[in-house]
Structure 1
């Protein structure tokens, strides 16, 4: 945390500073005792920064004379930027004491209300810097404690808010205790939350510029705006630029709005306000009210939803039907969890009423009926309401607290909102019957459990004796356990995902009956856990000595990395000889099935989003993890699609970990034919650029909607000169009727005929410029020399438009023609029409056109897809 400390040198040597005026104190020393009734000056402050920009005071916001706090205040704007005892305010008679142990705030009876934590040295002075940082110093002027390390609801210029750091709003302008709104800095963004539910992200701002995918280290407010930094401030991850200002602070207000305020002279300006629409704030109208911004310029209009009347006494809403009552959120042990669903009903909110939950929260279930969604809410005592999307069967549960709803006619009838209700009469009867039923149940359970427990103990002892007898006959290996020289069954990896029991996964997958994929190391099954979560379970079946190592490597890699475009590993099973991995389930399957199948065609924007998301995931693996991670098997089968075709890369079983300094050599061939970089074949060093090559090949497939190695003939298209495509026909048109698409893409790039590369199923719904951008990036990625290929971070920048995309070096792409000609030879076309191998031993040299360079390849013999490819 030392990197987050900013103390001007001019303030550290406080002993040489002479106060400008006798009424101002610029440092205080231990045994200093003060109360609200003993202020040093008329402003209520007892300590000032050197230029009197900030002051420390025992403040009484709103002059309510009840709650008093230790505050740091920006003097020109009178803004409280930090406070100490926000959850333990003192009375007007409370006291502040500075001792050699730190700062202590106590009430009139000397009972401690708040104090600084234990310090490793004695305090010599308390100062307030020109940034507004309250600092305790030791006798060597070394910082012992700083207020900047414990932010409340405000960040100022010069203060850094680290990742996982947060701000919490106050309850109101006069009550500075913690409210329900919070701001958090994540590894990639800034989010606003209400009672733990997200309702805004910094990246949503139209002026936000994402410059890299590095892991965020801290947020900073400065003259240029709001910035998320990585690599000790050397890399800008996300930024919202603002106009220059003399002073600026960012504050999370009690209303739930996050504002950046600039102050120049006496002028105060709101530079940044989010959410911009007040109805996007979850509790702007209070509970169970509908917020509308239509037809008004004076702020939101709040009204009661259908089925409720306004209560003018409480300014809230009450049910019209007196026979119904609203439930209260409960814990799992609460009596409400025992209520029968026959006492529960649901009141519809009407058409056009939405919620922030449907924007940011994940649905608890996909593709289910409304009745099933209601049933899920009925069984969950913390559920107070739900939203259901008709078109896709998405089910969102509103848990723990009901906030405001949004009047949004754009929602239409697709989203349906409901509030959970109890039958008030039945609920009362249930309450009266609870104690009587409980006594009956306890008596019955006692009569059943005691004899049953005795039988279970006897059965358990008998089972243990049987296991010992079996082991003495068949040995430990055959009884499903590893030998003493093998791996221990009960090994554990602290901090990694959940460890599941094999029997639970067998039941979840219906005895491994629902196969959804297979690969070189095993098969993948769809399963449903006991809590209803749908998962994908990968069962490792070909587990040799290397397989065990690969298995542990995959857990170690995936379990410690988190990115929105990487498949999440939920857990694993290592029981006896069984090795299984439990992943989140991707409901749209793999990219190859969508892209190359006969279903609905992927639109261009969906393809672009898949390309961008995949690039971001690879950039994260290469540049943002503690160790560089090379995937080694980037292909459409390993790109899975979730809701709205969000891409997520899977299968890290073939990956290797490299330290930032290493450029390692792999001793065995990894990957899948058609996506293998040339360095695999020439005994060159393998680096993250091998993934870049594979990504380029995938990008070409996204453009064309077909496999790069495909037995399809290129359709003759009209040339730029009117369609007379005769003597200069593409060299990629093979006499065997097959096509190596990368070579054809190179030909069309040289002729500027990009639309001929686009998937014909798009039927003109893409421009030449859009295709050109992706084709140029793809060809740059497949340069023969790895040093010419861009990094994945640069690829992301080119896709996002922050970096101008490069034009490929033709001299480094002529090897594609060699591959293409080899691909077109009938002798190397298999029965399935696919290229059996253009990686043959001692492949003949190819003199490249244009450069005169000779490429020689010492290629390994043909290897099968099972030997080359990793698990799917």
Structure 2
């Protein structure tokens, strides 16, 4: 009897285990929609096939549903993945897996050779279609996109392609191919097959033709080549239970192996064979890649600016107008700038052997066809633009780039006017010699005549100067009368702050609309430092910074002239319910602000601490691009400085704790203010609001309470937001508002976290008053 009972128990246990592992059949007539029944889950509910959010629409694919960070491992219809909200995915009665749209033609998601009878989403992450005989007629494992899962194989001739971005699953610019000759290679997409500019290879050429790339469930990634030989890329033996493994080529062109513990909840890197700067094309043309704390960063060549600040791959373009280098009458003269230890694609039109560095520089400068030259080992390679595949290396190559230098201006008048000045001096000399024969009276009259001629020449030049051209060089010095005229005697006030009022104006020559800030209080710094700060800030040029166009110093009057921002401040938008922006756009705004602050901290010629980051100082232009304004409180750092002492600056609620402790101030005060701003953008409310209950009045306290209690939905008033994304951004903000400046991340790290490229650990309690609760 006992034996029978034991047999029945074992049988029941085995049956339960078998049922648990068996796939769930998806029958004909089943359907999915983006907003309700949106996916078919695997038996363990770890993987899902169906709709996932992508930008302003949805895409269809396979993703990890059993972890907080939704990770897409396969995408359908990759060349055009976005589908509208009203689309329906149907396993039709006639045996097709089809996307039905209210407008437009139906799209087949899979094209099996036989009619579909059933489908299954397996626990391996493989989505499988069967015919009536229960034979597999199509599976996602045979059509990889950007990733491999354990048990999946990349066969000879198959490729993986990176995604376009972290939020766009369409095909990106990097590929990984298992070649027929047995070589596994990484390369930039769109290059000729005959001459792949590989940036990584397994060096197993000649081991084909049936080589495969394989991943096991213990993290063993290897090539299986001729005669069954195994070429290990990683060593196996990693935990199998409650651990997921994924091999993927990421948006930056790095192919690697990653693991995720279902208990710890974070992705970890097991293997990445390439330097973060190795992927060719990551930085686009005329730009180069350097490593900053093991993170890739793209920089433009001297004399170039990013085409699109938010998209490295678009590369850089000249920040000056190209003129003939033989012209002597143009607005641009040329100079050679150099950069050491750079590597570029080798594509010269002329090679000079046995030459010296200075000779190479001179040869390019004097050659109108030469736009850049690469010098190494006494060899000079003349090149035309664009330069491609640039990265910082340890080799001894010196890069020379021909850049334009704009004509310099002083108070609206070109400073290099030798012809006019020379003509005036000759006139004065000739008239002076003549006057010696006519006496004192004629000398005085001729002197007056010469003076009037000089004033007329000055006036003519001033009227002809293109004011916008001056703005691109340095802030222009305006006269008080000019700004009185431009603002119609300071009639239309746009706003008022602690240091003065802002007026709308129109520059008479160019009809350009500007904002004129009339300072009513002077900072403690003296006149010289005020002017130095204006000149330094005027050199900043970034799409997320309001441009300082000019200034005026007239007796006690101090005025600043800025570009006009037609859509006002973020405070007016974020704090007005009827103007509320959607979640994705609010996060994009936060990223734009972070890029602007990062530029001030790390990319300016002289690092700048803004000191007053708040929503009122964040403005929107006519294209709804967010820009940082009001550098009136900015503090400049010398090249060798990382901190400075100064009196307290900024606005209550946004001021970092170290201001009150009279500690040296660093760029981390801006990080703190950004954290408060980020919380306001997330929650669409002010950081201090005493009209609310006591536990909600101070935003940072309330946010941390909700974070600890896992009640983040309260922060967005139950707005439809992906909770994992909300948690991620809240963690970023809490890290930014840490009481200890050294714990706060740099703005570079903040931007990477916002873009989703780095993991975010759980932050500690941010401030002392919270920890004392």
Question: How does the TM-score come out when normalised to structure 1?
Answer: 0.37
Question: How does the TM-score come out when normalised to structure 2?
Answer: 0.42
Which structure has the higher relative contact order (CA within 8 Å, separation 6+)?
Answer: 1
